[in-house]
Structure 1
Amino acid sequence: MSTDGEGVDETGWDVEPGDEIASVVEALGHQQKRWREAAGLSAPEFGEAIGYGEDLVRKVERGARIPRPEYLDAADRVLGAGGFILAMKEEMAKARYPKKVRELAKLEERAVELCLYSTHNVHGLLQTPEFAEALLRTRRPALAQGELERAVAARMARQSIYGREPAPELSFVQEEVTLRRPIGGTMILRRQLEHMLEIGQLPHVELQVMPTNRGDHPGTGGRIQVLKFADGSAIGRTDDEFSGRPVSDPRQLRVLELRYGIIRARALTPRESLDFIEQVLGET
């Protein structure tokens, strides 16, 4: 079974030492071991039955490996767990996030409104898997294959936000250049633009484009993100102020909300923006 030597192969991800998710993975491992022993199966027998090696089975049961969804499907079926192992699927998906992404995902899950202005790249919540992978491949130093796969999987998992009930309000403003930069080549860009058109049709999403020829807006300092929560609190971030750190002070948030409001007002309307993206798609 191949591995890239960086803590990941086709069977899942290794748990990083000291990671806070270790207890969640250990709980899954203990549960699997109890079901396996109750079924009268040794680790090698169980591994053969689900199509994985004994080493992986023991790593999962020790809490040292975060298994992929296919592994959980097979384990639940073979052990006749009736969905008890599958119930851990969502937690395992979250555990696959790198630590930095995990914190962001938690905030996005709580948010009732997200305001997101992107200047250089298509926002992660709008990216297709192919575009995300191509974009992440441009990083230097380059990501190892395992790190790349984990980053793409985490980014895609965050997009479950679109199916939440009740749905949060999402407002995106994308600079025109993000629609034209051929990350990954023409076909990947075309699919990315088509995907944005689909997302822009959702009733709780407003997707706007800031044309390059509109220079009279306060977005020249970089990205802006404001996430608002049901209790009235919020958290925001921008590239050029507050040292780039997340802020929750009402006065600092007011600065970000003011800037975002002006940017949103100067951008094309949502309907005009979808027409603009269709135009760019036709030119690509």
Structure 2
Amino acid sequence: MLVDGDAGRLKTEADEPGWVVDPDDEWGVAVIATVGRQLKLRREAVGMSAADFGRAVGYGEDLVYKIEGGKRIPRQEYLDKADEALDAGGLIAATWEDVKKVRYPKKVRALGEMEAKAVEIGVYECNSVHGLLQTPEHARVLIEAAQPPYSPDDVERMVAARLARQAVFERDPAPSIHFVLEEAPLRRPLGGTMVWRQQLERLLEVGRMRHVTLQVMPTRVEVHSGLDGRIELLKYMDGTAVGRSDGAFSGRPVSDPRQLRILELRYGTIRAQALPPWESLALIEQLLGET
């Protein structure tokens, strides 16, 4: 549990940004408060002070109190070390199964849960690389560019949440995933040359997956039905679906069949106008070669 190779140095809040509980997330607050209370009760039951316990797990006393008070989200390694230090027989380590479900912001969890259950995912992204395709570095640069700026804690939490959604690529059976990205954002060297190269390489990696179709909308296409914003379509095993579009139905998720047909028509038209997958990957390879 040593930090940066500094022998004996205990972790502080500065070492773990982004692990603060969202006060508006009632379920998350309840879970973290319950886990913190269990940690405190077990520590006191064995007669260990917060300072001694902190040294045992590699954390500062102030951070121990905040975790026990439900103000900070404990990492998995913290819970594993606590289980060992308190001789809990795996009971504390097992609480990670509950903690990891509320690790990320409420809205992101809801989106991730919808994506995790979908058998088909269709996305048109107009202004940037879609979150499911972003590298950690690219995601961080995008989030840090927001105005007004997010706090460092919020940035790290949002980056981690975005990357966690990418577990959808590892599902078995894998969902069918379709992306259409605009060409212009792919030419923007966001974060500098190295970050840009890594992002283009990630697009090629994902685009070559058997269950993924990646298309690029060339800038030479003057007009298409996605000019007013992003479109997302999620379809499920039971035949239901959810869709969202920045330019339709006030951007809210819709499941009404009539509204879904409108989004499906727009998305289908966009896919028809975009470059075919093999030409899209060739374009990305060309951009990579130009870096």
TM normalised by structure 2 equals 0.87
* Distance apart, 1:255 and its partner CA: 0.5
CA offsets 1:79-110 (integer angstroms, 9 cap, x no match):
34454434343543342322322221222222
SS in 1 for 2:166: helix
* Distance apart, 1:3 and its partner CA: 5.0
For residue 146 of structure 2, what is the aligned residue in structure 1? 139
For residue 8 of structure 2, what is the aligned residue in structure 1? none
Residue 235 in structure 1 maps to residue 242 in structure 2: yes
2:116 and 2:212 map into 1 onto residues whose CA distance is: 16
| Count of residues in Structure 1 that have an aligned counterpart in Structure 2 | 280
Distance 1:49 1:129, change over 3 A: same
CA offsets 1:27-67 (integer angstroms, 9 cap, x no match):
32244345435555333222110011233223222322212
Alpha carbons 2:18, 2:155 under 8 Å: kept: no
SS in 2 for 1:13: coil
For residue 172 of structure 1, what is the aligned residue in structure 2? 179
Alpha carbons 1:26, 1:63 under 8 Å: kept: yes
1:80 and 1:127 map into 2 onto residues whose CA distance is: 40
1:44 and 1:200 map into 2 onto residues whose CA distance is: 50
* Distance apart, 1:147 and its partner CA: 1.3
SS in 1 for 2:247: coil
SS in 1 for 2:129: coil
1:259 is aligned, of 251, 255, 266, to 266
1:17 is aligned, of 23, 27, 36, to 23
SS in 1 for 2:119: strand
Which structure 2 residues correspond to residues 266-277 of structure 1 after superposition, within 5 A?
266-277=273-284
For residue 222 of structure 1, what is the aligned residue in structure 2? 229
Residue 250 in structure 1 maps to residue 257 in structure 2: yes
1:264 and 1:87 map into 2 onto residues whose CA distance is: 45
For residue 51 of structure 2, what is the aligned residue in structure 1? 44
Question: Which structure: greater strand fraction?
Answer: 1
1:158 is aligned, of 165, 185, 201, to 165
1:85 and 1:258 map into 2 onto residues whose CA distance is: 50
Alpha carbons 2:182, 2:218 under 8 Å: kept: yes
2:87 and 2:271 map into 1 onto residues whose CA distance is: 53
TM normalised by structure 1 equals 0.89
Alpha carbons 1:238, 1:244 under 8 Å: kept: yes
2:278 and 2:43 map into 1 onto residues whose CA distance is: 55
Bigger mean CA offset, 157-166 vs 247-256: 157-166
Alpha carbons 1:11, 1:67 under 8 Å: kept: no
2:184 and 2:90 map into 1 onto residues whose CA distance is: 46
Distance 1:89 1:196, change over 3 A: farther
1:167 and 1:77 map into 2 onto residues whose CA distance is: 37
CA offsets 1:115-151 (integer angstroms, 9 cap, x no match):
1100110000100010011111211111111111111
Residue identity opposite 2:85 in structure 1: V
1:272 and 1:106 map into 2 onto residues whose CA distance is: 32
For residue 116 of structure 2, what is the aligned residue in structure 1? 109
SS in 1 for 2:219: coil
- CA RMSD of the aligned region, Å? 2.2
For residue 68 of structure 2, what is the aligned residue in structure 1? 61
Identity among equivalent positions (%) equals 58
1:96 and 1:38 map into 2 onto residues whose CA distance is: 27
Residue identity opposite 2:100 in structure 1: A
Residue identity opposite 1:241 in structure 2: A
1:34 and 1:165 map into 2 onto residues whose CA distance is: 40
Residue identity opposite 1:152 in structure 2: V
Distance 1:159 1:88, change over 3 A: farther
CA offsets 1:172-221 (integer angstroms, 9 cap, x no match):
11111121111111110100000111111222211111111123531212
